[in-house]
Structure 1
């Protein structure tokens, strides 16, 4: 009886010990919003095994449904009980394409974030530096769930945060009034940054060392967040990968015409803006996505512009056209420019960014034998490009001929294989390369903080988008794998069960993760690790940049000729042509007069 009594009295202590053991095994934090539990996972990179705590599918905003559809996000608020964060939340509604990763679960209730915390001592007593990732996808597709931050977090000893934000019409409807003023997806990102600022300390993070980074549309989002003064204090560094502010033709005053297209294709009345809005607000998100799918099926990738919805100049988040702000930055300072130039920046592009646009011409098999004729280049490619850039604005014939001349290999002017390469160069320069360099010049000029530029060249074994073999260098998105330590599901990305990148890619990945996480920790990609090739700062005079390849190197004057052509020469030709047209119109009546043989004109 005495032994039994001792055993019974000892049960509470034993149970406490058991509970403590389990609580230590299950990661848990107490935030201002309540308790959150996650799970611990093991990850391996180049033979190094790490333990990382994952907190998945944490809601940072209320579901943007019902009356909250087409409205700025509302904070989720406190948790009523311990939140079990072990599963990804739904991805935001979006169409699926055969050449892109499939979103297995989509729902309008999608405003979640994921947090990856390394089980390592932080580099500073204040806690781990934070890397906040914004996914790309043309503001129309994508998900945080694809980007597993466990390897980047562990290898770099930083906290990685990935987020969802509203996409397409549901994220960016702008009918030019308070019912739907646009840019909800950007406001989602801003609210997620506020959430991190308020709560990341509970996860062991240093809220004063936040770096935001993104790829493609996510990169553009980073740049736009750097122009939004309400973000002051929420991050100190930005990394923009293949996406810049000055993308031509993207910033409209509103997207009412696109909204009408959606409403009309759902058999709604479109006579008034209110009718269009009410139709879209009441429609199911499945019906909205179906309009996109039907349009793409009937018109192919070239129809993307009809249903594409992107950030607008809403007068609040984006007060002025960012492209114009860059051009006028030397003479017109404003709060947005000052804030942008207060954030340290890494900015870069890949070797063949224009390869992204080849998907509009076919799949990888048909593209392998693609040949472009001189006639197609002159009568279709260049005029089509001008239409995308300038809309319905008349383009002078002189300008078309100038562009044709610039993108002609005069040693082989009619070589169809060289012409297809020049098509890739043309699209790459317009939509990535020139905007990138223009933005870095804008950032580094008159800036008190450091600016860095990179060029990612190597053609990886498994590109993100399937491309023909004749594309020589890295395509759009190919740097994302190395940045995240190739910690992806190969079944989702490549439809194969297992995949291990070649050794040289893993070495490249290790170097890139080190530069990225160094920058997050110190604001300098070279510190605290100084064993790698030193990455020089970028300025408008030296224009030095870092080249990522099998063997890294340093270059100068990246896309300097293309930037000069598109930012100086093309605008000068347009201005001169418009001036000549004005003069002709002003004095044209004299040309219409008739004169007799004696020189008397009537």
Structure 2
């Protein structure tokens, strides 16, 4: 024992590592490390625990047991993805993920827990990252939940899942069913259910939360009959599976698979699905990634598919017929969800670095028309969208007014209204005596974010992640208001995990109660949300009534 202590002391002196306690889990022993935070607190991190193995395009299985001690003290491989997508859409200047490297052997999760834990099992929060189903990794520093663990006294688990064709390629073959990335998430949730008690977590109090594609994933898991009992609460941040890029029917998914096979010379007439998949399995990772470049823009993006076991019926039908898991829900969006996307889709007029560009009303109409074509909308629908948004402009509108409208079209259709409608439909289908439902809208832009300030770009898609993972606390470039909002959001999210209710907020000495999102006694009422701005918190009702319930709902729920 003395020799062991001497060895550990030498190891810490040389490498600066102080080990966390060894934990016995189902597959073996695992050892993490102790992490010191800037506020003086400490937590234990078990980083990069392997939870599954998978053959290419097939569903994963639990990892086999290991002998000896598994050192969970370093970053592991990210799942294969185009390098430029390993960052938030709204922060193109942020460097790529500092994951060790990329590999198909990437099914890892990390567990973060308080150092000093009371003699009780703690709520568990499971983070599912975003990235348009083609990018992201839990080893990106922006997804460090250490302060959430410390401040909220919760256990946080972050999970990798397969992306792009590796995670969402669909065939009609039983062993390649599509949704591999979602099946990875379910496998990780099953691992958590089986093992989190060893870390001091309560397997019966699991909250899944995620942003963008992570939020879309969670909404799909809510609709899935395969996840019953794996989580009790869900937080949707800017995304849902009823969106155009949230899921698709089988024939569209199959056409994307055939398209990839054609680009990689794995297709011949008559089409032989088995031979085509065998050919794709023989290609190296780089070849497949190169053949998937720009999939987000050109309509080839592989996304979750409905009509198979994981998501048997279309999301819209599932919501309308109340076929979903009854869990507590919190859902919300950012004020300007579309700005980061359109700055890349229409850079000629939307580049945020160009001030006062020469934009005309006909140019706005053309930009909207192009976006609707990307979304495969009919001429009639496109014209109605143009009319709805153009009436907010006139000849006196300036360039920023016009850019906001273009951004709103993308954000409202793709993110805002699908998310708010998903939350509204689900809330109305829950038992209010058992489940809770809350909503928010993030209003305070990051002063040192992607667009640095409060110009037309506003509160961009993904800025909630920076607030939630305490980015303002770790840098000197942020205001007191931003640091306060970061604290308040962490407290609200973790309180929801504890109780199903986000805590009330304060404007100075005045307490602002966070009311539930829906008045079930009034079928005509819209969503009520908490406006998240530490300078002025307030509950707002029916803001999305005209835009989402009346205009976009007939289009999205068609």
Q: CA deviation at 1:179?
A: 4.1
- On the 8 A contact 2:59/2:175 being kept in 1, the answer is no
**1:291 & 1:361 partners in 2: Cα distance?**
23
Task: State yes or no: 1:457 paired with 2:436.
Answer: no
Matched, 1:375 2:362: yes
Structure 1 Cα separation of the partners of residues 352 and 409 of structure 2: 22
Instruction: Give, in whole Å, the separation in 2 of the partners of 1:198 and 1:515.
Output: 27
Q: What are the superposed Cα offsets for residues 340-390 of structure 1, whole Å, 9 maximum, x if unpaired? A: xx1000100000001132221228455544454322333x33333333334
**Separation in 2, partners of 1:24, 1:472:** 43
CA RMSD of aligned residues (A): 2.9
Residue of structure 1 in register with 2:309 after alignment: 316
SS in 2 for 1:315: coil
* Residue equivalent to 1:553: 538
- The answer to whether the 8 A contact 2:331-2:423 is kept is yes
Distance 1:234 1:371, change over 3 A: farther
Give the whole-Å Cα distance in 2 for the aligned partners of 1:453 and 1:395: 34
Q: Name which of structure 1's ranges 550-559 and 15-24 shifts more when overlaid on structure 2.
A: 15-24
Cross-structure match for 2:42: 51
Aligned to 1:495: none
Contact 1:364-1:468 within 8 A present in 2 as well: no
> Partner of 1:407: helix, strand, or coil?
helix
Question: What is the aligned partner in structure 2 of residue 133 from structure 1?
Answer: 127
Are residues 1:515 and 2:497 paired? no
In 2, the alpha carbon distance for the partners of 1:401 and 1:353 equals 22
Task: Give the TM-score of the pair, scaled to structure 2.
Answer: 0.86
Q: 1:281 to 1:16 in 2, by over 3 A?
A: closer
The one of 83, 86, 94 aligned to 2:81: 94
- More deviation in 417-426 or 159-168? 417-426
Where 1:209 maps in the other structure, the secondary structure is: strand
Residue 472 of structure 1: how far off its partner (Å): 4.9
Alignment of 1:579-590 (within 5 A): none
* 1:8-48 superposed Cα distances (whole Å, 9 cap, x missing partner): xxxx7x5577689999954221112211101101012xxx3
Of 227, 231, 249 in structure 2, the residue corresponding to residue 231 of structure 1 is: 227
CA contact (8 A) 2:404 2:457 kept: no
**Partner in structure 1 of residue 278 of structure 2:** 278
| Counterpart pick for 2:239 among 238, 243, 259 | 243
Please give the secondary structure, in 2, of the residue aligned with 1:175. Answer: coil
Closer, same or farther in 2 for the Cα pair 1:447/1:367, shift >3 Å?
farther
Could you say which residue in structure 1 is the equivalent of 2:340? 356
What is the CA distance between 1:206 and its match in structure 2?
A: 1.1
Give the deviation of 1:528 after TM superposition.
Answer: 13
Q: What residue in structure 2 maps to residue 345 of structure 1?
A: 329
| 1:216-244 CA distance string (max 9 Å, x none) | 00001111111122222211100010002
Tell me, in whole angstroms, the C-alpha distance in 2 between the residues paired with 1:252 and 1:506. Answer: 43
Residues 60, 195 of structure 1: 8 Å contact kept: yes
Q: Deviations over 1:522-557 (max 9, x none)?
A: 111128999963211111545321110132221111
Residue 28 (structure 1) aligned with residue 22 (structure 2): yes
Structure 2 residues without counterparts, runs of 5 or longer: 86-91
Where does residue 504 of structure 1 map in the other structure?
481
Q: 1:289 to 1:400 in 2, by over 3 A?
A: closer
In structure 2, the residue matched to 1:252 is 249
Alignment match, 1:325: 318
The residue number in structure 2 matching 1:436 is 419
Name the residue aligned to 1:536. Answer: 515
**Residue 213 of structure 1 aligns with which residue?**
209
Larger radius of gyration: 1
TM-score, scaled to structure 1 = 0.80
Question: Are the aligned partners of 1:34 and 1:81 in contact in 2 as well (CA < 8 Å)?
Answer: yes
Match of 1:445 in 2: 428
User: What is the aligned counterpart of 2:69 among 73, 77, 82?
Assistant: 82
Q: How does 1:160-179 map to 2 (within 5 A)?
A: 160-179=156-175
Q: Tell me, what secondary structure is at the counterpart of 2:29?
A: strand
Distance 1:428 1:117 in 2: 35
Look up the SS of the partner of 1:219 in the other structure. helix
Q: Distance in 2 between matches of 1:265 and 1:468?
A: 42
Q: Which of these residues, 186, 190, 199, is aligned with residue 190 of structure 1? A: 186
The residue matched to 1:501 in structure 2 has which SS?
Answer: coil
User: 1:142 and 2:119 equivalent?
Assistant: no
SS at match of 2:250: coil
Kept in 1: contact 2:504–2:514 (CA 8 A): no
What is the CA–CA distance in structure 1 between the aligned matches of 2:477 and 2:487, rounded to whole Å? 14
- Partners of 2:391 and 2:112 in 1: how far apart? 49
Answer whether contact 1:247 1:323 (CA < 8 A) is retained: no
In 2 relative to 1, CA 283–20 (structure 1 residues): closer, same or farther, beyond 3 Å? closer
Unaligned runs of at least 5 residues, structure 1: 1-11, 491-497, 575-602
Q: 2:89 maps to which residue?
A: none
Query: Greater CA deviation, 474-483 or 95-104?
Result: 95-104
- Could you say what secondary structure the match of 1:325 adopts? helix
- SS of the residue aligned with 1:30? strand
CA offset at residue 103 of structure 1? 3.2
Provide closer, same or farther for how the CA distance between residues 107 and 219 of structure 1 changes in structure 2, counting only shifts above 3 A.
same
Distance of aligned partners of 1:499 and 1:361 in 2 relative to their CA distance in 1, 3 Å threshold? farther
CA distance in 2, matches of 1:50, 1:407: 50
Distance (Å, rounded) in 1 between the aligned partners of 2:51 and 2:372: 41
**Are the aligned partners of 1:518 and 1:528 in contact in 2 as well (CA < 8 Å)?**
no
Residue 291 of structure 1 is matched in structure 2 by 291
> 1:266: which partner in 2?
264
- The residue number in structure 2 matching 1:403 is 385
Structure 1 residue matching 2:171: 3-state secondary structure: strand
Match of 2:397 in 1: 415
Tell me if 1:302 matches 2:297. yes
Are the aligned partners of 1:518 and 1:527 in contact in 2 as well (CA < 8 Å)? no
Shift of 1:567: 4.4
